[in-house]
Amino acid sequence: MAIEHFFVRHGDYEHIYLTAEGHEQSERAADELAAKELGEQVLLLSSSRERALETAEHISNRLGIPVLASSRLNIAGNYPRVVEDLDDFLWDVAHETGADYAEDTQIVAVAHAPLLAAILGRDPYDTHGIEYGQVVPYRPGSWNPGYFSQREFDRRFPAI
């Protein structure tokens, strides 16, 4: 059976912290993930933004796994055009956090709406309908965000 990763949009927030509703959304996301058939080796990665870390803590408590924070996941979460290949990106982030990441490792990543939009094949800045606490599945090898990465854009359209 193919591995499936899951991306979670952080809960609703005010300033930098989750609101009461954001905590409830995070709990629902944690419950949804706990109900899935996750593998034996699961990594919980999170954007380094406080709202994402708070959401990840709910998931961590529910799944009994530690949170591994990454500022790169924050950047890619908000600016997914920097991601050439999501699978390679996840591999790099996992290694940078010191995680033991093997081919059969399943990832749960708490990120931001633009990355979830890109995973769904939408324009990353059309985040309408991507709810706080939403869980989005991702099958490794299926990264096709429907837009040029920044590197590909620069290659195809060099400055005149």
- Does 24 have pLDDT greater than 60? yes
The fold of the 15-156 domain, in CATH, is: Rossmann fold (3.40.50)
DSSP bridge pairs for 135: 8
Average pLDDT, the chain: 91
Per-residue pLDDT band at 104 (split at 50, 70, 90): confident
Helix, strand, coil proportions of the chain in percent (round to 5)?
Answer: 40, 20, 40
What is the pLDDT at residue 153? 65
- Say what percent of the chain tops pLDDT 90: 74
CA–CA distance, 80 with 65 (Å, rounded to integer) = 26
Per-residue pLDDT band at 156 (split at 50, 70, 90): low
DSSP bridge pairs for 108: 6, 44
- Does 65 have pLDDT greater than 70? yes
Q: Where are the domains of the chain?
A: 15-156
Output the pTM of the full model: 0.90
Convert the pLDDT of each residue in 130-148 to its tens digit. Answer: 999 999 999 999 988 766 6
What is the pLDDT at residue 66? 97
